[in-house]
Amino acid sequence: MSRGHLNQGRVKVGDLRELGRQELLGILDSIPGTKVLVWDECLTGPIGLVAEYSVLKEHDVVKMFPLNSSGLPAVKADNVVYIVRPTVQNCDVIASNIRAEERRGGSGLKTEYHAVFTPKKSLFCEKQLKEAGVFGSLSLYELPLYLFPLDSDLLSMELPNSFREFFLEGDPTSIHYTAKALTQLQIICGTIPRIYGKGAGAVQLFDLLVRMRKEMAGIQSAVKPQIDSLVILDRSVDLLSTLPTQLTYEGLIDELFGITQGSTKLPAEKFSGQEAEAGDQKVVQLSSTELLYAEIRGLNFNAVGPTLSRKARNISAQFQERHDAKTVRQMKEFVEKLPSMQAAKLSLGTHTSVAELVKEQIDRKSVV
């Protein structure tokens, strides 16, 4: 329900990222004055994929904090903007924050409060804010971000609890969100001509997609379809495939260290040239825009070592070419290739260290 692969190179994932960025910045620009952002922690990483902090600072964002029931830090700003998932728990924390700030008062600065719900507002949330007595103190917005681009061929809705909510709690919200996400995707990428599915949840999603398409009759995308087929798999029809150990390079990184929003955190002291104390973490970005990672991510881990060794020999041979450059033209050609060679060397060093960490973990678990 929460992830989708795209045919790399055909679908304009960047359009989705830009659409989300403009939606978020449009809301921020509609709020005059300086702003403190208070994030639902589950959204910090996903929205960071859409709009980096450097971009937000250009739109009068002075500080960012996680949503916390202990209250807001003492930071002066014209506005406090909560960016949250529409849950009753989040509304309780927002209400608690606002009541605490109103009791504290006294700074002489009139602070305005705003709540941005993504992907949409909820009647339950509005009811909760009213019952808490803070509904009149807030301006409410919707940020319709349904899909977050994790890579050039991978989108995620970042709804890790959707299976539990749908099957155990009987909450169909995730089905509705998925239908909205696929409708949004088709506006950008054209109407998907063939849809296949398996499972009760897939049937519900298909029916909702058909209904939404009928409601949008006359305003459907005129873009030539970039996606040939959509396959919807209800997780309940195959519960076991998520349990076997992953054996690819990318799979083992995820299995052993975890991959979140296209990056993983690893012990910093294991990386050459990295000054770090024990316990420090290095964030390693994992994206197929990096040529080496695109080549080895899907390899069985046993094939990664020989591939990295071959790459090391090739890079070494490329650097040796500087000794063979005799003419000015040859030197110029070598200098032009140097930045890409240095980037390849850095990438090789990073993935060699990552592979060594994976191997250490595998050996340790094998001994146990």
Mean pLDDT by 10 residues, the chain (368 residues): 52 80 95 94 89 91 90 86 94 92 66 94 92 92 93 89 91 94 89 93 95 77 84 92 92 95 92 74 93 96 97 92 80 87 95 96 80
- Kind plus residue range of the DSSP H or E element containing 233: strand 229-233
C-alpha dihedral (69, 73, 79, 81), degrees to nearest 10? -40
Which pLDDT score, from 0 to 100, does residue 229 have?
93
- Least Cα distance to 265 among 246, 294, 285 occurs for 285
pLDDT number for residue 1 = 44
Tell me the C-alpha distance between 14 and 294, whole Å: 18
| HSE-CB of 345 using CA atoms within 13 angstroms | 13
pLDDT of 5 reads: 57
How does DSSP assign 129-145, residue by residue? Answer: HHHTT-GGGEEEEE---
Residue 232 buriedness (CB in 10 A; 0-12 / 13-18 / 19+): buried
Integer Cα distance of 134 and 128 in angstroms: 9
SS3 125: helix
**Predicted TM-score of the model (pTM):** 0.83
The pLDDT value given to residue 343: 94
How much is the CA Rg of the chain, to the nearest whole Å? 24
Q: Identify the pLDDT of residue 107.
A: 46
Smallest CA-to-CA distance from 345 within 320, 316, 307, 366 is with 316
Cis peptide before 119 (omega within 30 of 0): yes
